Each structure stands twice: as C-alpha cells, then as structure tokens.
C-alpha cells in the first residue's frame, strides 16, 4: 500500500502543478491526497510510539521519518485547483486556494521540519530526533489549524 500511495503521489506531483483538474481526475487526486495524509498521520503516530519505547526503536523511527519527509515534499502538489470542498468530501478548507501563499509557507515549514528530523534519524542521533519531534508536530498543527476542517 505504501508503495502504491507514493507512486500515486509522484504521478500527482507531476500533473498537479498544471491547470485545474476536474471530473474523475479531481476525484482521484482527492482520494490519493487522503491516502497520503492518512499515511503521514500514521507515520507520525508510529514515530511517537517508537520515541516513547525504551530503548527507542531506531529502525522504526527511521522508517517513519522517511515517510514524513517524502510525503512533505509532495504536499504542495496535492492541492491543485478543482480539488476543494466544492468538488467532494474533503477536510481541505477553501483557504488552501484563497490563501495559497500562506499555505505554501506552512507546507515548506513542515517540509523543513520533516527533512531535519529525517536527517537526524538517518544519522542515528536519537537525542536530536527527540529534540526535533516537537518542531515537526508544531509545523503540522500550524497548517492544520488554518487549512484542515474538523472531522464531521
């Protein structure tokens, strides 16, 4: 499943920065985005559990931070015009498209945080990973606060 989602996101990234999508393509983009965000959320939860274990599970941590960094790089391309709440069920708020500069800044903040924690995990520095995980959480929350609707 992970490989399928990443492959779908790679294809999405190649086309999402182009014009507005519509019809079945918009529905597919929204589905792929949902799956990727679910996978990202699961990676963050698994990371927290791995950090809480004693000793910390370095292999599990590296696997999750890798998912986080790879997905973070694709976030801006996951939200092409034509894939908002006016098209179908999504927790993506219209503000993603009306406040695009802010959305891109928040996406970049998350990318920087995800890459930093991934680099620390790959280096084996679990103390640095522990220090950086709060930054990742804050970057995620900052975007969600403005751009993700609550569950209904």
Predicted local confidence at residue 152, as pLDDT = 80
Predicted local confidence at residue 4, as pLDDT = 44
Show Cβ contacts of residue 101 under 8 Å, excluding neighbours closer than 6 positions: none
Predicted local confidence at residue 14, as pLDDT = 40
Percent of the chain with pLDDT over 90: 82
Predicted local confidence at residue 60, as pLDDT = 93
Predicted local confidence at residue 142, as pLDDT = 96
- Burial (0-12, 13-18, 19+ Cβ within 10 Å), 59: exposed
Distance CA 13, CA 36 (A): 12
* Average predicted confidence (pLDDT) for the chain: 89
For every residue of 8-67, which 3-state class applies, written as one string?
HHHHHHHHHCCCCCCHHHHHHHHHHHHHHHHHHHHHHHHHHHHHHCCCCCHHHHHHHHHH
Neighbouring C-beta atoms of residue 86, cutoff 10 Å:
9
For residue range 25-79, list pLDDT tens digits in order.
Answer: 999 999 999 999 999 999 999 999 999 888 888 999 999 999 999 999 999 999 9
Predicted local confidence at residue 55, as pLDDT = 87
Segments making up each domain of the chain, as ranges: 2-147
| Residue showing tokens 């694709």 | 74
Predicted local confidence at residue 2, as pLDDT = 47
- The angle subtended at Cα 113 by Cα 34 and Cα 43, nearest 5°, is 40
Tell me, which fold does domain 2-147 have in CATH? 1.20.120
| Residue showing tokens 């993603």 | 96
């Amino acid at each position: 499943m992970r490989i399928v989602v990443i492959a779908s996101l790679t294809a999405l990234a190649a086309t999402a920065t182009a014009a507005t999508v519509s019809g079945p393509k918009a529905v597919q983009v929204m589905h792929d985005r949902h799956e990727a965000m679910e996978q990202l959320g699961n990676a963050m939860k698994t990371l927290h559990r791995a950090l809480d274990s004693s000793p910390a599970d370095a292999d599990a941590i590296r696997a999750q931070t890798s998912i986080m960094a790879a997905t973070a790089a694709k976030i801006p391309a996951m939200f092409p015009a034509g894939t908002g709440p006016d098209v179908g069920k999504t927790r993506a708020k219209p503000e993603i498209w009306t406040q695009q500069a802010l959305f891109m800044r928040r996406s970049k903040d998350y990318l920087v945080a995800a890459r930093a924690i991934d680099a620390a995990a790959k280096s084996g520095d679990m103390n640095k990973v522990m220090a950086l995980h709060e930054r990742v959480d804050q970057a995620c929350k900052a975007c969600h606060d403005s751009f993700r609707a609550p569950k209904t």
